[in-house]
Structures are given as structure tokens and as C-alpha cells.
């Protein structure tokens, strides 16, 4: 970036001028260099972020009074000022544009709303007998990563088949080290039981190499090798071994045929197909790796009615690959405006050439057509669901006497067992259904809470929630504020929540308490509003079923979060808290004493007798358990 040129319109008191004449005023000082521009409204809110190979030429197109699409015309009418940032190269401008769009979420830009990470398969690399497992998130563990897969289900199905073929372990290192006999997976022929020496290190390493060749698409000889071994075992009358090898060959064949799409001419690619209809868009992404289909996902970016497909797809690619590694090839259903710049940007990110193509014939075109058919069908289902959801939201507004139809509903619930491992949960729903990327869980921190105090837990959750909202979105411009709160509870909970919100000056968010009613019967719910008498809906009212589903989803999420927290606490090992006790020393202590509890009871002399435990470390371990660390 060479320089920053932030220009705003300071018109003094009175109405702030807007429109194409304001934009025209910037042309005198603009250069023909590449860069990024921002269009702002009278309140200095960013309306649009765009890139340009030639800033002056691009901005001059907005200065014309006519000839714009309705969306662009509205944007120009609202523009009161502009900001500019020149860059050294066009690629740099493209990168900056995508970063600013993701950060600012402008009103008139195409936005990718669902940006979750994708799971991978990891073959660990820090153990004599590597583990194969699902991995999501930063790639910090040593080993080989294969992916991405479209979903956890796609990973689990592939892992299930790979275990049948290659018999690799999926247990953790701590479980592996403490096994004394084979587990159930060995008995059902899913693991070769390296934990108890049922396979040599060399043979297991060969199985790992075969699995990695398969995941890399270099699996042409695996079946031949297994078939030859099966024939040899049969000739030697080792029929049990021959049957086991036969089962592995069948499993490998099933993996290869179950993918649905197995392109011969495409080894590594993402297929992106866009379908637009009725002011909505669906981008279907298929992940092709190792000549196999590793699943597909549909995305619904925010678009306007008059946005061109090229703009939608380019914006999607830029935002989608901002946090993900691109493949060698992108196959698109539509061309994009700056395909050369995008390819250069993705190539820089990957560290090797990335190609972008719109195939017209052959197998690649067939792959894109299949993805486009999926995009068309997915958007049709989405629009039908949205219509039904919109009808329910309108019915909800009418039943609860809301001034407007809610765009964002937040539902809260708590989960605990006699106060232990307490968790608060928030789910979010809107016109498009559940907004799972907006779900939040709250670990209850209040040390002065009475165990099981649901009022206190709810107070803590909502206090933290609204403090954050007031800090991050005080002007309510980012769409983070709820239009309606649903609370699991009756009049007591509603009064408590009203008090919490009043403390923070929030008195314009509608709130409903959902209670089970006198018989605590599903279908006889009572609804509570602050200062009003409770009421009920007809037993067959669709709005009642809708609220029940919302409450049940919040309950499901709260229980799941509580179980995960409880499981983590149960599996926690006190040895992990001691400085200097790593994986190998922990393993040595557990093998010597049998359990962490036995370690805590050991005397100093016994601790010093453990291999790898120095006198200083033995004293530290002893002090941790006897003097509070």
C-alpha cells in the first residue's frame, strides 16, 4: 500500500448533501492508480466497499446521474462521503477489499453469512503407532492432514470405512498406553490392536503408508497388494486371515464406489455453482480430493435483487477462501470479473499455482452442471422453508402483540445437575430458521451463586450478553440485537430478566416467558409478559408448535453444552496441572502407580523411583497434592 487518502464531506450544520454530485466532487483529486474505495452515509456508516484497477474511472461511473441499477442508485443516493486507499498492485486491492468487507459488513456488499471451518482427517505424526482421527480448527498437531470434508458426517463415514480397510487405531495416546488387552474395535476387525502388540511397528507403518496413499489419491496398487496377500493366505490354508483380507478389499471397494462422484480427470478441485432466483442466491460447493468426492455444502450469501452473478461469485470466493486453503483448481458455473487477480491472490495464499476455470465441455463441465442442479434444488427448498418461516414469524408477532415481525429471536436456557457444571445457552432464530453460527454458551462463573439458583444463572448470562451488545453494537447497526427474547420460565424469571435489562437501559426489547403450565404438560404452555396476565395459545396453533420447537432447541443446546463441560471435567487429569509433567512423564507415572489418585497418595521416595522423574520434579508433584501446589 502506498498511501491512504481518507476524504470525508464536512458540510457544517444542516442537512448533509448526498448523491452523485457529492461523488463527483472527489474526481478532481483522484488518481488512476489501483485501490479500494468506501462509500459512507450521512452518519459515516459504511455502505459499500469496492476495489478498482483505476480508482478515478470507477468512481466516475458512480458520478453519472442515470444508467444505474436500482440497488446502485439507492447506494448513490445515500452516499454522503467517500474514503480511498491506494495500493501498489491490483491484487493488493482485491485482498484489501475482501478484508474490509469481512470486517465492516457493508449494507450493499454481497456477504457470506456462514463461514465455519471444515473438518479434516489427521494421521498423527508424533507416535510410533499413528492415530487416525477427525480434526477441526488450527493445524497445530504434528501429522498429515487430509481434507477439507464438507461435514463431520462425511469425515465419520470415511473414517469408518478406512478403519475397516487399514485397521488403524483411533484411540487417544493415553488410552493406547494403558490398554492391557484388545478393545472391541479389534474384535470387530476395525483395529489391528497395536496397543497390545498384535501387529509389529513395521507392519503398522506399512498400513499407515497405504492409508496415506489412499487419502492422497495414489491407491492404485493397494487392492492388488491385498488381493495377492489373500491368495497367498488361501494357498497356505490360512483361511481366517484370507477372510479378513477379503473383508478389507470389500471395504476399500465400498469406499471408492460410495462417493457418488469420482472424477478421473480432476484430482484436486473445488466446484462452485451459483443459482440466483427471487433476490436470493445459493452457492453449492463440492470438494474433490484424491479423485474422490469429499462432500458438498450449500451457502446462501446475502445479495440484492439486481446483483450480477459475476459479482456474487467473486465476492463469495474472496470471503470463502479468506480463512481456508484453496485447492489447485476452482471450477465455476459463471465467470467472474477479476479472475486473473483472484487466481493470483489465491496462488499467493497457497504458495503454488491456483487455476480458475469455467468449463464448457467434458467431465469438468458435467461436474459443474451437477453442482448447479444441487444449487437450484437447494435454493428452491430454502425459499419454501423461508416462506413457511415468515408465516410463523408473522403469526408469532400477532399472537404476542409485537409491534413488528421479529427478525432475530434469542432463546435462553440453563443446564446443570444440582448446580454442578452449570452452563447457560442462547440459540438464535430468524426468517431463515435457526442461525447456528450465532449460538452461544456461557460457562456460569458466579462463585456466590447458590447451587441450582436458576434466577442467578439467568441474571449472569443476560448481564454478560447485554454488556457485550452495548459494547460491540451500541447503535444497533450490525443486526446483533434481538427483537424478541424467549425465556424458559414463568413470571419470576420474566421479572428478574426485566430488572436486568432495565439496569442496562434496555427497555424496548420484547420478552416472553414460556412456562409448562399447571400440569407441566407439553401443549399446555403458559406465556408470561412483564406486568400482564399469563395467557395460552390454542393446543393446535402452529405458533405454539413453533415456540415449542424453539424452546426444545434451546434445551437441547444447553444440555449438550452441559454434558460436554461435565465430560471434560470428568476426564481431566490432575497431573496435567503440574509444571514439568508432560505426556511421557505422565505416562510413566500412570504406568508405575496405576492411576492419578494413586500418584496423589504416593510418598516422596516412591515418586523419585519412577523412571524420568527427577528429585526436583518428585518434590513438585508431592507438593502439588499435599501443600495445594
Task: Choose one of 109, 127, 152: the last residue of a domain.
Answer: 109
Indicate whether 477 belongs to any domain: yes
Profile the chain (629 residues) by mean pLDDT over runs of 10 residues.
49 70 91 93 92 93 89 93 92 91 90 80 91 89 88 85 86 86 89 92 89 75 75 82 75 58 80 92 91 87 86 93 90 92 91 93 92 93 86 92 92 76 88 88 74 76 88 83 89 85 85 75 77 85 89 89 73 74 81 81 87 87 74
Q: 426 and 532 in one domain?
A: yes
Q: Please report, for the domain that includes residue 36, its CATH number.
A: 3.40.1440.10
Q: What is the pLDDT of residue 312?
A: 94
Q: Please report, for the domain that includes residue 594, its CATH number.
A: 1.10.150.20
Identify the helix (H) or strand (E) that includes residue 540: none
Q: 274 and 200 in one domain?
A: no
In angstroms, the CA 244 to CA 167 distance is 11
In angstroms, the CA 78 to CA 47 distance is 8
In angstroms, the CA 127 to CA 124 distance is 7
Q: 506 and 414 in one domain?
A: yes
Indicate whether 2 belongs to any domain: no
Q: 320 and 248 in one domain?
A: no
Q: 540 and 591 in one domain?
A: no
| Bond from prior residue into 229 cis (ω within 30 degrees of 0) | no
In angstroms, the CA 121 to CA 145 distance is 6
Indicate whether 468 belongs to any domain: yes
Q: Strand locations in 125-203, DSSP E?
A: 132-135, 143-146
Indicate whether 193 belongs to any domain: yes
Indicate whether 275 belongs to any domain: yes
Please state the domain count of the chain: 5
* Residue 125, φ and ψ in degrees, nearest 5: -125, 15
Residues 6+ apart with CB under 8 A from 60: 27
In angstroms, the CA 118 to CA 440 distance is 19
Q: 438 and 319 in one domain?
A: no
Q: 341 and 370 in one domain?
A: yes
Q: 238 and 189 in one domain?
A: yes
CA 609, 610, 613: angle at the middle one, nearest 5? Answer: 105
Indicate whether 389 belongs to any domain: no
Task: Choose one of 80, 109, 138: the last residue of a domain.
Answer: 109
Task: Choose one of 258, 291, 324: the last residue of a domain.
Answer: 258
CA dihedral 335, 336, 340, 342 (to 10 degrees): -130
Edge-first strand listing for the sheet containing 143-146: 132-135, 120-124, 143-146
Which grid coordinates are listed for 206?
Answer: 506399512
Which grid coordinates are listed for 137?
Answer: 480448527
Q: 213 and 163 in one domain?
A: yes
Indicate whether 7 belongs to any domain: no
Q: What is the pLDDT of residue 450?
A: 65
- Domain of residue 368 covers 269-381
Per-residue 3-state assignment (H helix, E strand, C coil) for 58-112:
HHHHHHCCCCCCHHHHHHHHHCCEEEEEECCCHHHHHHHHHHHHHHHCCCCCCEC
Residues 6+ apart with CB under 8 A from 303: 110, 276, 279, 280, 281, 312
Check the CA dihedral 56-61-64-70 and report its sign: negative
Q: Please report, for the domain that includes residue 344, its CATH number.
A: 3.30.420
* End-to-end CA, the chain: 52
In angstroms, the CA 298 to CA 114 distance is 10
Q: 88 and 175 in one domain?
A: no
Q: What is the pLDDT of residue 11?
A: 46
Q: What is the pLDDT of residue 629?
A: 44
Which grid coordinates are listed for 60?
Answer: 466516475
In angstroms, the CA 102 to CA 113 distance is 10
Q: 417 and 534 in one domain?
A: yes
Q: 455 and 563 in one domain?
A: yes
Indicate whether 10 belongs to any domain: no
Q: Please report, for the domain that includes residue 474, its CATH number.
A: 3.30.420.340
User: pTM of the full predicted structure?
Assistant: 0.72
Query: Is 16 exposed, middle or buried, given 0-12, 13-18 or 19+ CB atoms closer than 10 A?
Result: middle
Q: What is the pLDDT of residue 115?
A: 63
Q: What is the pLDDT of residue 158?
A: 83
Amino acid at each position: 500500500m502506498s498511501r491512504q487518502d481518507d476524504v470525508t464531506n464536512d458540510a457544517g450544520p444542516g442537512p448533509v448533501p448526498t448523491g452523485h454530485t457529492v461523488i463527483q466532487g472527489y474526481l478532481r483529486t483522484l488518481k488512476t492508480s489501483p485501490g479500494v474505495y468506501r462509500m459512507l452515509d450521512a452518519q459515516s456508516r459504511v455502505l459499500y466497499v469496492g476495489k478498482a484497477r483505476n480508482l478515478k474511472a470507477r468512481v466516475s461511473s458512480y458520478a453519472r446521474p442515470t444508467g444505474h441499477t436500482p440497488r446502485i442508485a439507492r447506494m448513490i443516493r445515500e452516499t454522503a462521503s467517500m474514503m480511498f486507499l491506494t495500493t501498489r498492485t491490483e491484487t493488493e486491492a482485491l485482498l484489501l477489499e475482501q478484508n474490509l468487507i469481512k470486517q465492516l459488513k457493508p449494507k450493499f456488499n454481497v456477504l457470506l453469512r456462514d463461514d465455519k471451518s471444515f473438518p479434516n482427517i489427521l494421521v498423527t505424526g508424533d507416535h510410533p503407532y499413528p492415530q487416525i482421527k477427525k480434526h477441526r480448527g488450527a493445524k497445530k498437531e504434528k501429522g498429515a492432514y487430509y481434507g477439507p470434508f464438507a461435514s463431520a458426517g462425511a469425515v465419520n463415514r470415511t473414517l469408518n470405512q478406512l478403519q475397516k480397510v487399514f485397521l488403524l487405531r483411533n484411540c487417544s495416546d493415553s488410552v493406547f498406553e494403558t490398554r492391557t488387552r484388545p478393545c472391541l474395535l479389534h474384535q470387530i476387525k476395525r483395529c489391528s490392536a497395536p496397543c497390545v502388540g498384535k501387529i509389529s511397528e513395521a507392519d503398522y507403518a506399512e498400513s499407515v503408508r497405504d492409508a496415506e496413499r489412499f487419502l492422497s489419491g495414489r491407491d492404485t496398487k493397494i487392492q492388488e497388494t491385498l488381493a495377492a496377500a489373500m491368495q497367498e493366505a488361501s494357498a497356505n490354508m490360512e483361511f481366517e486371515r484370507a477372510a479378513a483380507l477379503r473383508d478389507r478389499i470389500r471395504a476399500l471397494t465400498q469406499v471408492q464406489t460410495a462417493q457418488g462422484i469420482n472424477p478421473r480427470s480432476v484430482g484436486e478441485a473445488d466446484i462452485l455453482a451459483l443459482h440466483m432466483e427471487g433476490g436470493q442466491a445459493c452457492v453449492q460447493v463440492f470438494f474433490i480430493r484424491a479423485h474422490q468426492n469429499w462432500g458438498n455444502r450449500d451457502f446462501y450469501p446475502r445479495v440484492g435483487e439486481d446483483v450480477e452473478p459475476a459479482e456474487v461469485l467473486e465476492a463469495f470466493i474472496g470471503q470463502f477462501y479468506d480463512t481456508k486453503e484453496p485447492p489447485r483448481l476452482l471450477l465455476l458455473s459463471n465467470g467472474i470479473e477479476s479472475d486473473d487477480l483472484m487466481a493470483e491472490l489465491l496462488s499467493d495464499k497457497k504458495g503454488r499455482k491456483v487455476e480458475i476455470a469455467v468449463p464448457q465441455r467434458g467431465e469438468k463441465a458435467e461436474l459443474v452442471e451437477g453442482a448447479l442442479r444441487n444449487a437450484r434444488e437447494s435454493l428452491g427448498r430454502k425459499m419454501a422453508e423461508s416462506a413457511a418461516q415468515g408465516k410463523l414469524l408473522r403469526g408469532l408477532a400477532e399472537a404476542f402483540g409485537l409491534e413488528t415481525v421479529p427478525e432475530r429471536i434469542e432463546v435462553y436456557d440453563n443446564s446443570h445437575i444440582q448446580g454442578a457444571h452449570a452452563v447457560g445457552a442462547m440459540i438464535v432464530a430468524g426468517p431463515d430458521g435457526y442461525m447456528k453460527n450465532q449460538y452461544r454458551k456461557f460457562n456460569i462463573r458466579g462463585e456466590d451463586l447458590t447451587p441450582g439458583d436458576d434466577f442467578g444463572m439467568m441474571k449472569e448470562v443476560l448481564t454478560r450478553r447485554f454488556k457485550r451488545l452495548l459494547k460491540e453494537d451500541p447503535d444497533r447497526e450490525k443486526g446483533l440485537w434481538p427483537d424478541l427474547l424467549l425465556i424458559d420460565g414463568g413470571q419470576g424469571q420474566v421479572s428478574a430478566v426485566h430488572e436486568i435489562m432495565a439496569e442496562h437501559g434496555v427497555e424496548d426489547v420484547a420478552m416472553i416467558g414460556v412456562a409448562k403450565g399447571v400440569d407441566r404438560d407439553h401443549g399446555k404452555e403458559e406465556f408470561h409478559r412483564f406486568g400482564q396476565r399469563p395467557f395460552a395459545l390454542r393446543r393446535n396453533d402452529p405458533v405454539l408448535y413453533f415456540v415449542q420447537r424453539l424452546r426444545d432447541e434451546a434445551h437441547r443446546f444447553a444440555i449438550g453444552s452441559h454434558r460436554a463441560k461435565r465430560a471434560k471435567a470428568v476426564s481431566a487429569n490432575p497431573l496435567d496441572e503440574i509444571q514439568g509433567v508432560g505426556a511421557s512423564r505422565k505416562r510413566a507415572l500412570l504406568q508405575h502407580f496405576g492411576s492419578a489418585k494413586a500418584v496423589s497418595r504416593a510418598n516422596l521416595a516412591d515418586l523419585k523411583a519412577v523412571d524420568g522423574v527427577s528429585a526436583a520434579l518428585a518434590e513438585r508433584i508431592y507438593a502439588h497434592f499435599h501443600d495445594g501446589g
